[in-house]
A and B are shown apart, each in its own frame.
Chain A
Amino acid sequence: MENINYIKGLLENNPKVLRQIYTNHADKVKNYILKQGGSVDDAKDIFQEALIIIYKKAQKADFQLTSQFSTYLLGICRFIYLRKLKKNRNNHVTNDELEGYKYDSNLEKTILDNEKHQIYESNFQKLGQVCRDLLELYFAKTNMEDIAVKLNLKNGHTARNRKYRCQKELEKRIQADVRYQELQNIR
């Protein structure tokens, strides 16, 4: 069944299926966003964000698709777009309008988390190569000795100290990020 293929392909990052998703659904979302007064770039970002959100939700054990994939995708895009409007135009969109598109109670949390993660990502990318490699390996549960060997550091102890400094650096950058501060105020 098509629905399951899309979800499976998304979870596996299967290029063929990802392309299918764009081929079959991008125009619909683009038309919707343009009709609502958004730009093509808005549509591109929202579409990608929606797919990432579906990907994240699909990883959870309790994930259940209660409607057709296209309906779900378009619904999430609508939701993200209305949220963006609300954020940018200070409550021009009422909560009621958002309620109508709430597909499940966790959706808004997933979207907020994802916004936060986008801020993390952009700050993470500003770190040096060693820091990025180190943090990626550490959070992928690689042990410190192995990290030291891989990254050509003296030993596990050095790796640990380095990791600590990198993490502090990332933390400092994120907390200085205006977008992050705004997001903290929303919650």
Chain B
Amino acid sequence: MLNEQDKKIEEYLNGEMSNDERQAFEAAIKNDAELAKEVTFQKDLMQFFEERNPDLERKLSELGDEFFEDDADISSNKKKYFNWLFLVVGLVLLSALGGYIYINNLNARQFDASSDLYIDAEKAINEGMEHDNGNEDAPDTMFEEEEEEKQQTQQQETEQEIEQETTEENTKMDSGDITEKSPPPMAEIDIENYKVNPMLEGIIRENVRSDGNNFKITFPRKEQTFYSKNDIINFRLEGNSSIERNVQVVLYDNKESSFSNDQYVLSTTKDLKNGDFSFSINIELKNGLYYYVMQEKETGKILHVSKFDIKKR
């Protein structure tokens, strides 16, 4: 049977009470924990029914089954097999690369440290695979590229990845000895490093539109190019903020995967006072296009996204 209390709760939640009735009922809620609990529950239930969307849930669930195939059973063996295969192929290519670097760059450090590279290469290759997850065919491309030149191009890219990782692992400022003394031998690699990242380009546009004027970057200028004689770049940020805040600065290279996997070149936080700010950091950067994202640490709100590029003289 519908009792008096439930009827009242219903009227209250539906806004069907007069002012006096409502005030009396709210006073009753304050004094009666059981009643308060009941009202909260019915309110939750109401919200639940208002917000639930079985049609959307069903559609998402179907898509989920389609796009998130649980391929653990099938692929775990396959994956192991591929990992070994990659390792072997990788090692062969690495030896070739070692020789290549030796001849071309007279910089045989990587070759000497091949035992370190062994681990890093495995890691890099595994990560490459992870990135290709869900696309079973992807690993085959390794074998399709038969011309030696192409293999070297790819290896050069792996080398860059390794270098990036190493840079990240040794605290980012470390100038180290992992420098690339001569420009990459092939022009297309250079172009790769300057390609725009469509994902970040989207944010740059979004940012311009949505951010208010309580935060501004005055340096670097929009799409500035830095010319440098050596590998260490003095990355300087200047601007002003109208309020005190803790800002996180994250620097990414131009690869789309770097941003989506959060593999940054640099990540640091700064306490900004109200007014102008200027800070700089020495960092080893190769030729290429870079993006930096400035976020308010506390809220995650994106304050500024911009890009610059580095050209070595």
Contacts and interface: CB of A to CB of B under 8 A. Distances in A.
Contacts of B203: 67-68, 71
Interface stretch (B41-49, B93-101, B104-112, B171-179): B41-49
Nearest to B50: A139
Contact of B63 (A19, A27, A35, A59): A19
A113 B47 contact: yes
Interface string A51-94: 11001100100001111101100110000000000000000000
Interface string B192-206: 000000010011001
A120 B51 CA distance: 12
B176 to A, nearest CB: 26
Interface stretch (B18-26, B140-148, B149-157, B294-302): B294-302
B38 to A, nearest CB: 9
Contacts of A64: 210
B72 A135 contact: no
A156 B111 CA distance: 85
B51 A34 contact: no
B204 to A, nearest CB: 9
Chain B interface SS verdict (over half)? helix
A65 B207 CA distance: 10
Contacts of A171: 41, 45
Given A136-B49, A139-B50, A52 B60 contact: yes
Chain A interface SS verdict (over half)? helix
A70 B56 contact: no
B190 interface: no
Interface residues of A, number: 61
A181 interface: no
A121 B58 CA distance: 13
Contacts of B300: 75, 100-104
B279 interface: no
Interface in B52-70: 52-53, 55-57, 59-61, 63-70
Contacts of B130: 31, 34-35
B46 to A, nearest CB: 7
Interface of B: 1-2, 6, 41-42, 44-53, 55-57, 59-61, 63-72, 130-131, 133-134, 199, 202-203, 206, 210, 248, 260-261, 297-302
25 contacts: A2-B202, A3-B202, A10-B56, A13-B56, A22-B63, A22-B66, A31-B131, A40-B68, A40-B72, A64-B210, A67-B302, A70-B199, A71-B203, A74-B260, A99-B297, A101-B300, A103-B300, A104-B300, A105-B299, A116-B44, A117-B48, A120-B45, A136-B49, A164-B1, A171-B41
